[in-house]
Amino acid sequence: MTGLTATPFLDASGEPSFVRQMNGFVGLLRENGFVVGIREQLDAMDVLRVMKWSDQRQLRAAWRTLLCTRLADWQGFDDLFDAWWLRLGLKSRARISGMSNRASKRKTLQDLGDNGGQWKVDHVEQDDGEGQASDSPNRSEGASVSESLEAMDMRHVHDPEQLEKAGLIAEKLARKMVHRLARRDRATRRGHRLDLRKVIRRSSGSGGMPMRLFYRRRAPKPLRLVMLMDASGSMNQYGAFFLRFMRGALDNFRQADAFVFHTRLVHIGEVMRERNTEKAIERLSLMTTGWSGGTRIGESLKNFNRHYAKRTVHGRTVVMILSDGYDTSPPEMLNTELARLKKRAKRLVWLNPMMAWTGYEPTAKGMEAALPHIDLLAPAHNLDSLAALEPYLARL
Amino acid sequence: MGISRDAVLKGFSAGGYIIDAQMATAVALMDSLQRPLLLEGDAGVGKTEVAKSLSKMLDCDLIRLQCYEGLDAHSAVYEWNYQRQLLAIKVRENDDLSAAEKEQHIFDRDFLLERPLLQSISQDQRPVLLIDEIDRADEEFEAYLMEVLSDYQISVPELGTIRAKTVPLVILTSNGTRELSDALRRRCLYHYVDYPDEAKELRIVNARLPEIDQILAGQIVRFVQALRKEDLRKTPGIAETLDWAAALVGIGVSHLEGEAEAVHETLLCLLKTREDQEQMPIEVVERLLGKVA
């Protein structure tokens, strides 16, 4: 309670030094994933007209409710407030780049590749992720980076910049799928109840006599997507890429959830939605100790069926399993668990990145056990193969 | 007319809603900044109650819009009364009025059915507008809602633009089944409603069930608090606590110790899924009771 009055700009609610301080504070919030617009900042300063600067508790409460937009903000606000206004120092809250937060998504993504030179950032925004005019030093082939990237096996993409690009495109792809699916919903809206609004509108042609009737039907329940990703050693090369795709789908599908499995099953849907980058990474790594080890697909699915399936899988759900099918639990187990899951879901899709390898036959024991139950077995080694899924989903 | 934080604290308490300073500040700001308030939190923590208490405190109308999947502008904003329009056309079929006059007649405000959003901006006295479970509505509706909430005007093609007579106090609630857009979040004040701590919950029980025995109330609250720490599918909310307390009082239980059976039988007030009930056999209940009673 004492710190605030000791700050040097005590009485200067309109003075430049205060404005500068305020800008800094809002900047700090934005860096930590807060969504704060100019209006919000102005309102925050406006609050000082009716509240005393010294009444820190009330001011803090007011700013908290005004500047926070989600649970993560709500929980982190006090620390940031203390750090900035009471000079308690930013313990571990300084932001790190990596997976993005929405406020500065592109920037952070690019940062990974090259410590974030400013012109690079602008460059990426201009070409909007399409890679039309990329002149980056790493690019040697004649076609645009995105074209070649889409066909490239993600196993062979090592350049961080290209990985970022692929990640961006994967996210975009997920977003595009959603839009296409949403449009289909509305186009089929015809059916049981009279649409009186339309009947009357169209009756003007026949002198107000409703000659033609129009109907409407409730839009079909939106498709739900549940993704289960194999994070074992054999899938290592694709892990980051699929994570990005899953993140895009989670952000944009009306209903989606995500799980990761290796020797056990981990629910990561909530964490992937976390906007605070640092927290997301921290929680993700906490939850996923043991990644890139062996795989127990059967056991993980059993766990999924027992604890999560009821809540997450319904008749309009597509369950998407991303795995190479190398399983260390008995194949019979995988067989029964898949059969169980199949009963609950609309479709079972198995994406296997190894299918694209020349000479690959789905002979892994796990794969053999799975084949009778899955509706679609498709390759998923590059962006093109992910994009090819969309028409399939749209038909459902 | 500004609402001060202290007035909110007092007014809500008088209405039986136990409010903390943070929430009171949010409600006061909602008035002074004319921003909607977004309340997030699990089901049963009393989000909807805030709107009810606010309308009670201000003695004004509470207009509620329950969101659901597929909610569209017709059920949220306005709809023409088509049946009446058709009738009116029939009745006037043989009148000597021009087509334009007839049209004017059937697109009169009398034929307009006001749905909650339109209703809320055409009141003489400022109402409280509760938009419940906004996360259940579609994104398209959310975008439309944003527009209404920033301009407080609604345009009806046949009538023109209807401006707000009074700007309503808007409270939105969300259970987090879907991520809301950043635009909407930014526009709103935010408050996360958590489960109450022991002291607060005790005050709530006392406020709602003034006759309850103090020892029993304390035990009930501690039991529910302990129960929330268990790994349950559906964590019991405040409404459940109150139901359970009322049930226990109703069957004449005055202390929880030694009443494991009665507790177990009345757990259906608290646990609303079969898995949760199976997870709480009488032995577990006894263990929990041992801690709290």
* Mean confidence (pLDDT) of chain A: 70
DSSP β-ladder status, B128-132 and B169-174: parallel
Q: Where are the alpha helices (DSSP H) in A32-152?
A: 38-50, 56-67, 71-85, 105-114, 118-127, 145-151
B128, B121 in Cβ contact below 8 A?
no
Q: What is the pLDDT of residues A106-124, one digit of tens each?
A: 333 333 333 333 322 222 2
* Closest approach of B68 to chain A, Cα-based (Å): 12
* Local structure of residue B190 (DSSP, 8 states): E
**Cβ separation B33–A66 shorter than 8 A:** yes
Residue A73's pLDDT band, with cuts at 50, 70 and 90, is confident
* Closest approach of B200 to chain A, Cα-based (Å): 18
Nearest residue, CB atoms, A65 vs list B26, B82, B179: B26
Tell me how far apart the alpha carbons of residues B209 and B99 are, in angstroms, rounded to a whole number: 63
Q: Quick check: B186 contacting A, CB < 8 Å?
A: yes
Angle at A73 between CA B151 and CA A229, to 5 degrees: 105
| A chain contacts of residue B26, beta-carbon cutoff 8 Å | 61, 65
* Closest approach of B194 to chain A, Cα-based (Å): 10
Q: What is the pLDDT of residues A226-245, one digit of tens each?
A: 989 887 777 777 777 787 77
Q: Quick check: B192 contacting A, CB < 8 Å?
A: yes
Q: Which residue has the higher pLDDT, B20 or A248?
A: B20
Query: Per the structure block, which two tokens stand in for A34?
Result: 């807060």
pLDDT at A359: 65
pLDDT at A288: 60
pLDDT at A292: 53
Instruction: Label residue B137 exposed, middle or buried (CB < 10 Å: 0-12, 13-18, 19+).
Output: buried
Query: Per the structure block, which two tokens stand in for B218?
Result: 């304390």
Residue type at position B14: A
Position A189 pLDDT exceeds 60 = no
- Mean pLDDT, rounded, for A51-59: 83
Residue A279's pLDDT band, with cuts at 50, 70 and 90, is low
Residue A330's pLDDT band, with cuts at 50, 70 and 90, is confident
A10, A53 in Cβ contact below 8 A?
yes
| B chain contacts of residue A62, beta-carbon cutoff 8 Å | 25, 29
Q: Which residue is associated with the tokens 């209903």?
A: A255
Closest Cα in chain B to A44 = B33
pLDDT at A106: 35
* Closest approach of A273 to chain B, Cα-based (Å): 8
pTM beyond 0.90: no
- Mean pLDDT, rounded, for A375-383: 81
* Closest approach of A286 to chain B, Cα-based (Å): 19
- Which helix (DSSP H) or strand (DSSP E) does residue A219 occupy? none
Instruction: Return the beta strands (E) in chain A as ranges.
Output: 193-194, 215-216, 224-230, 255-261, 265-267, 317-322, 347-351, 376-378
Position A345 pLDDT exceeds 90 = no
Instruction: Label residue A391 exposed, middle or buried (CB < 10 Å: 0-12, 13-18, 19+).
Output: exposed
The torsion of the CA quartet A304, A310, A314, A319, rounded to 10 degrees, works out to 0
**Cβ separation B37–A65 shorter than 8 A:** yes
Residue A97's pLDDT band, with cuts at 50, 70 and 90, is very low
- Mean pLDDT, rounded, for A325-329: 80
Tell me how far apart the alpha carbons of residues A216 and A190 are, in angstroms, rounded to a whole number: 4
Which residue in A27, A13, A11, A15 sits closest to A84, CA to CA? A27
pLDDT at A293: 58
pLDDT at A188: 43
pLDDT at A3: 39
Q: Quick check: A189 contacting B, CB < 8 Å?
A: no
Which residue in B226, B260, B257 sits closest to B241, CA to CA? B226
**Cβ separation A66–B29 shorter than 8 A:** yes
Sequence-distant (6+) residues with CB within 8 A of A363 are none
CB B179: neighbour CB atoms within 10 A?
17
Q: How many helices (H) and strands (E) does chain A have?
A: 18, 8
* Closest approach of B249 to chain A, Cα-based (Å): 34
DSSP β-ladder status, B160-163 and B153-156: antiparallel
- Mean pLDDT, rounded, for A65-81: 89
Q: Which residue is associated with the tokens 């079929």?
A: B93
Q: Quick check: helix, strand or coil at residue B78?
A: strand
Cross-strand pairs, A260: A229, A266
**Cβ separation B5–A58 shorter than 8 A:** yes
Closest Cα in chain B to A35 = B186
Q: Which residues of chain B have pLDDT under 50?
A: 1
- Mean pLDDT, rounded, for A183-212: 65
Q: Where are the alpha helices (DSSP H) in chain B?
A: 5-14, 21-33, 47-58, 73-76, 82-91, 99-106, 116-121, 139-151, 182-187, 198-208, 214-229, 238-250, 260-266, 274-278, 282-292
Chain B, 13 to 52: residues with Cβ < 8 Å from chain A are 21-22, 25-26, 29, 32-33, 35, 37-38, 40
* Closest approach of A167 to chain B, Cα-based (Å): 21
Position A142 pLDDT exceeds 60 = no
Position A275 pLDDT exceeds 70 = no
Residue type at position A312: T
pLDDT at B36: 94
Residue A196's pLDDT band, with cuts at 50, 70 and 90, is confident
| B chain contacts of residue A102, beta-carbon cutoff 8 Å | 182
**Cβ separation A255–B186 shorter than 8 A:** no
Chain A, 203 to 262: residues with Cβ < 8 Å from chain B are 208, 210, 218-219, 221-222, 251, 254-255
Nearest residue, CB atoms, A64 vs list B22, B32, B40: B22
